Amino acid sequence: MEARHELIRMLVPGCRAILAYAGRTLPAIICSAYDAGFRVQIHAVDVSERPFAVGERVAFLAQNDRGLAFFDTRILTSYAGNPACLDLEWPSRFEWRPRREHTRIQERIPVTVIEPTRHGQPGPSRSGHTLDISVSGIQLFLAGDAGKNLEPGRQVDLLLGLPDGWPPWRPPRWWCERWRQP
């Protein structure tokens, strides 16, 4: 119950969020909340692309100074225009993680997740970008359904696309100690 209250406190007007719908990753802002759900505003939507369909599923990620919430929800109502508005239903299930001490990456660094095959060769890959580096690991955002087949505890390779001129990245010592192989 406490986590549900945390979600309600998190989805306040002005809160920034990311929506994944039909293979697109869209920045959104929470406009309002009501009994059945909440309204988000999405800027820079290309109207020539697939419109938002009532009843379809969207993946949702919201973040503020209290933590991070992510869940799947459904579109209740779609209002066309730029900015477009969507009414989304409250999720029946969601994950909420309180913010921990972390190193914030101001720029979104492109990342490719590669699953090795049984023979050690590169397998399927998925693209996305970084959100945070924290004590618990690296948080990534993968567009659409890109992460649906990733299993917890499975080893993957990460390719980080650091911008030109950046010094070589070395993980902080506490991160190496946390993820050191036994």
Q: What are the residue boundaries of the structural domains of the chain, listed by start?
A: 2-98, 102-178
**8 Å CB contact between 126 and 118:** no
Instruction: Identify which has the larger pLDDT, 63 or 108.
Output: 63
Cut 0.75: pTM above it: no
pLDDT average, residue stretch 124-135? 70
pLDDT of residue 14: 85
CA dihedral for 55, 61, 66, 67, sign (positive or negative): positive
Q: Is the pLDDT of residue 181 over 50?
A: no
- Looking at domain 2-98, which of 3.40.50.2300, 2.30.110.10, 1.10.240.10, 3.30.70.2190 is its CATH number? 2.30.110.10
Farthest CA pair distance, the chain: 54
